Amino acid sequence: MSRMEDISTPKRTKEIIQRHGFAFKKSLGQNFLIDQNILSKIVGAAELDETKGALEIGPGIGALTQKLAETAGKVTAVEIDQRLIPILKEVLEPYPHIRIVHGDVLKLDLRTLIEAEYAGQSGVSVVANLPYYVTTPIIMKLLEEHLPLENIVVMIQKEVAERMAAAPGGKEYGSLSIAVQYYCEPELVCIVPHTVFIPQPNVDSAVIRLKVRKEPPVAVDDEAFFFDVVQASFAQRRKTISNNLKARFFAKEGREELERLLQEAEILPSRRAETLSLHEFARLSNVLIRAGLK
């Protein structure tokens, strides 16, 4: 395979952008990474080798795609911006095991795509520098569809990464923390300063690795109801778990019934949602659904 010059240097990135007359679209959250060290950390965290595949979302002009191709046996990159497709095909031409797909990852049938693209690979990971404005919808789609993934390694807004990895008790901990930790084991890989992008975003980023669990760490009777209980519990963060659940599931006359169910779940009514662990939420949702609250 012929080795080409790194796309991720500031000089090469600017040269590609200028040669193609590419103009950044703010609405698509386009920020291209120009730091080799960070790219290496992202690829390293994905634990790839020539037997494994990488699915990239939003490749931009291919800086991360190139690094993935040097490690993975197969790379498929999904890009929503039609203007980038010819650029990607040109700059990544030396790598025959990269395929560029034009499409919106939120609308694609990813299970079918993964089955078709990685039939010969021993495992698949998602690796991406995600636009801030669609980070959570993309990650939740990857998780809720129970796709056959090993790792999801993404560069996202620092505050969102911290929320995903947060432990109970702090202000970062919330329904997103619980959703991500139900499906994955999160690990912050590194913080990325805003200065290593063209153009520079207003805030810092972080790389997070989500190691996809084969089974959730808790047994819930009904997954959808479990997440409904979590959302309801965090509806107003300053309110107690009792008040939030009352507002969602009980009429005024159900107050005593709720107190009894919380007692059965071994949860004090005066606690706030941010103090409850994943296991406590699982226990609570199972008690509520068995009481016929769905």
Residue pair 173/165 in contact (Cβ under 8 Å)? The answer is: no
**244 has binding-site annotation:** no
| Alpha carbon distance 44, 87 (integer Å) | 26
**286 has binding-site annotation:** no
> Which residues, other chains included, contact 44 with Cβ-Cβ below 8 Å and sequence gap of 6+?
none
Structure tokens that stand for 14 in this block: 């600017």
Give the DSSP per-residue string, 203-226.
S-EEEEEEEE-SS-SS--S-HHHH
Q: How far is CA 123 from each of CA 48, 53, 154, rounded to the nearest angstrom? A: 9, 6, 17
Closest CA to 234 of 273, 196, 207: 273
Q: Which residues pair with 192 in a beta bridge?
A: 205
Q: Which residues pair with 212 in a beta bridge?
A: 184
Residue pair 124/60 in contact (Cβ under 8 Å)? The answer is: no
Residue 244: strand, helix, or coil: helix
**33 has binding-site annotation:** yes
| Alpha carbon distance 46, 124 (integer Å) | 9
Q: How far is CA 103 from each of CA 69, 82, 129, 151, rounded to the nearest angstrom? A: 20, 8, 16, 22
**104 has binding-site annotation:** yes
**39 has binding-site annotation:** no
| Alpha carbon distance 123, 52 (integer Å) | 5
Return the CA Rg of the chain: 22
| Alpha carbon distance 143, 146 (integer Å) | 5
* Sequence ranges of the binding site: 31, 33, 58, 79, 104, 129
Q: Report the binding-site residues for S-adenosyl-L-methionine.
A: 31, 33, 58, 79, 104, 129
